[in-house]
Amino acid sequence: MKNQGTVLGYITRSHRRRDFQLTPFVKDFPGFIFLNSTEVKRHDAKMHKIVRVALSRKGNREFTGRIIETFESLNDPEVELAIVQEARGFPSDFSDAAIQVAKSSQRQLGDSSRRVDLTKTNHVTIDGETARDFDDAICVTQVSKNIFNLKVSIADVSHFVPENSALDREAFERGTSIYFPDRAIPMLPEILSNNLCSLVPKEERYTLTCDMDINRQGEIVRSSIYPSKILSQARLTYTIAAQVVEKGQRGLVRTDLEEMLVLAHELALIVRNRRREKGGLDLDLPETEMEIDRTGNVLRTYISERNEAHKLIEDFMILANECVSESIEKAGYSSVFRIHEDPDPLKIERLQKIVKRWGFSLSMSRDLEDSIQRFLDSIREHRDTKILAVSLLRSLKQARYSATNAGHFGLGSESYTHFTSPIRRYPDLMVHRILRNSNFLKAKAEPYAFDKLEQMSNACSDTERRAFFAERDMEDLKKVRYMEGFVGETFDGLVVSVKNFGLFVEILPHGVEGLIPFRNLPPDHWNVDELETVLKGSRTHKEYWLGDRLKVKVARVDRFKRQIDLQPIIENPKGQRKKGSNVRWV
């Protein structure tokens, strides 16, 4: 029998034999893995024990497993990481060769005389409270009554990561940092991501600066991109910056930095309004965050909302990304674009039918971006904002990287790239190298061949999706672990998805989704409409609609399958809509 590698999974009873089998954490494993009783007893491995096995092929879709490693508990954060890593296949440890390249970077500071000295300017970083790496800093000044100057200075990672080195190859293999609730899997070793390349306060750091003069109409009237060095004056959090610009609190930061933040907020509002006029969509959805203790337990879940400081940084980063993209394109060099293609007309037609059921219209007679933004504005205070906005998101295409510029629909941008996060995204590092290898757009030689850029762009899109699914898997593990403590309890719920196997319901106090499978619904023959907005019983005529509020009980939690099963609490057997309300009492 040929060895087929190793697989991580948990032990279950075989339905086909008297022995055991391994259920892999990789969902699409092509076959069955059988474990004989002797093998299981030898390792004192009981049902649902997590083990790693060496595989040998036995038949077409049959394998046998030899246990080579056992894991103590699913509560161990390292086991959770191993499960997600097994399913998504991302690297976590750097090779010795990559570490050595990173360490040698300490000796590569070199002569900085060719860099523009910005150490006397009021650059600051603004990030979340738990951020560990800081790759962007901003500085805003008033040039004249009608002109602002915005400097967006980004960590010069390209100076410290030699092309085609062991470090570079491993950074490309990762493609992006992966962020879990209790840790990060960085794209670059910590000596770079949290030290040399991190714009920590009061430390001189090498940067690339996108320097823009902007008028009161939000137009860039002059720009340049150059190598620089800065000394961040302060490490500000979104909370502190928002207290200054939203609430007008004083004394939280130095007076000159306080004045700079107020000026930056004035400019951000101008830039934001300009983007909206160009067709950029303002889709601001709250997200569920988790507070984790040192042992990996979820202490609480909560809904986070973006404040004005979040939006300010986003406004400036988008503007810098546009400026850099347009500058490279204007100079005639091939580049990496962040593209978001126009929606599929059939999906927009489906969206029109869905929102019509809520009494909203989505006109296609005008500019599509303008029509979508007007729709977003109209639902902003609606009780079902989240459901309607998510329905819109599912109608749009996914953004990706490409060497061919197709524009960015969601931002209303004709030319867009990623320049502002080279510590955590490889495409940004590629853009930095395009700038550096073209001598900041002054050289005549092409820095990268188009075909190579297209190949690398596709690979970066793939690693981005891998990171997205890994982050989602870990969040699901954590949420299911958290909800184990609420089995048997009843909560208010919101139907957020209707499928041909049940209803996905958000448990409102916790922002966690569970499933009401058909087996937990009243006996009936259930049918889903083509838009997946309503589930109807053909015998009882009972209906469950997208957006329904209902009471649910947490019936079962399965951490191995990452499933939360819910049971509806039937409050009105007739299942009719309460008069004058858009809630069906179920």
Nearest-angstrom CA–CA distance, 161 and 174: 14
Diameter over CA atoms, the chain:
83
DSSP one-letter string for 511-566 = TEEEEEEGGGSPSS-EEE-TTS-EEEETTT--EEETT-EEEEEEEEEETTTTEEEE
The confidence score (pLDDT) of residue 578 equals: 41
The confidence score (pLDDT) of residue 3 equals: 52
Helices and strands in the chain, H and E counts: 13, 26
Short-list 295, 299, 242, CA closest to 126: 242
Strand partners, 526: 537
Torsion of CA 217, 221, 225, 229, to 10 degrees: -70
Contact 339, 401 (CB under 8 A): yes
Tokens of 355: 């929102």
Nearest-angstrom CA–CA distance, 185 and 290: 18
The confidence score (pLDDT) of residue 574 equals: 44
Nearest-angstrom CA–CA distance, 485 and 300: 11
Q: Do domains 3-71 and 487-568 have the same CATH topology?
A: yes
Note down pLDDT in tens along the chain; length 586 residues. 445 689 999 999 887 666 899 999 988 898 899 998 888 888 888 888 999 999 998 878 889 999 999 998 899 999 999 999 999 999 999 999 999 999 998 666 777 778 999 999 999 999 998 888 899 999 999 999 999 999 999 999 999 999 999 999 999 999 999 999 999 999 999 999 999 999 999 999 999 999 999 999 999 999 999 999 999 999 999 999 999 999 999 999 999 999 999 999 999 999 999 999 998 988 777 788 899 998 899 999 888 888 999 999 999 999 999 999 999 999 999 999 999 999 999 999 999 999 998 999 887 666 788 889 889 988 888 888 889 999 999 999 999 999 999 999 999 999 999 999 999 999 999 999 999 999 999 988 888 899 999 999 999 999 999 999 999 999 999 999 999 999 999 999 999 999 999 999 999 989 999 999 999 999 999 999 999 999 999 998 999 999 999 999 999 999 999 999 999 997 654 444 443 333 332 2
The confidence score (pLDDT) of residue 282 equals: 84
**Secondary structure class of 264 (helix, strand, coil):** helix
Phi and psi for 370 in degrees, rounded to 5? Answer: -65, -40
Distances (CA, A) of 7 to 23, 36, 73: 9, 16, 17
Determine whether 528 is exposed, middle or buried from the number of CB atoms within 10 Å of its CB (0-12, 13-18, 19+).
middle
Nearest-angstrom CA–CA distance, 553 and 557: 11
Distances (CA, A) of 400 to 338, 418, 463: 6, 11, 11
The confidence score (pLDDT) of residue 37 equals: 86
Short-list 459, 399, 368, 403, CA closest to 169: 459
Angle at 197 between CA 192 and CA 199, to 5 degrees: 135
The confidence score (pLDDT) of residue 526 equals: 95
The confidence score (pLDDT) of residue 38 equals: 86
Tokens of 526: 């259930």
Residue-wise pLDDT for 569-584, tens only, equals: 976 544 444 433 333 3
Q: What residues does each domain of the chain span?
A: 3-71, 113-342+397-479, 487-568
The confidence score (pLDDT) of residue 1 equals: 43
The confidence score (pLDDT) of residue 583 equals: 33
DSSP one-letter string for 71-125 = ES-TT-HHHHHHHHHHHH----SPPHHHHHHHHHGGG-----TTSEE-TTS--EE
Distances (CA, A) of 332 to 24, 181, 236, 289, 402: 50, 42, 38, 43, 16
Determine whether 30 is exposed, middle or buried from the number of CB atoms within 10 Å of its CB (0-12, 13-18, 19+).
exposed
Q: Do the strands 3-13 and 20-24 form a parallel or antiparallel pair, or are they unpaired?
A: antiparallel
The confidence score (pLDDT) of residue 47 equals: 87
The confidence score (pLDDT) of residue 153 equals: 98
Residue-wise pLDDT for 76-120, tens only, equals: 999 999 999 999 999 999 999 999 999 998 666 777 778 999 999
Short-list 31, 24, 133, 33, CA closest to 89: 24
Short-list 315, 218, 275, 269, CA closest to 409: 275
User: What's the one-letter identity of residue 344?
Assistant: D
Nearest-angstrom CA–CA distance, 502 and 511: 19
| CATH number attached to the domain at 3-71 | 2.40.50.700
Tokens of 579: 């008069």
Phi and psi for 28 in degrees, rounded to 5? Answer: -105, 30
Tokens of 351: 């969206």
Is the alpha carbon torsion for 426, 427, 432, 437 positive or negative? positive
Pick the CATH number of 487-568 from 2.40.110.10, 2.40.50.140, 2.30.33.40, 1.10.167.10: 2.40.50.140
Contact 332, 421 (CB under 8 A): no
Nearest-angstrom CA–CA distance, 433 and 159: 9
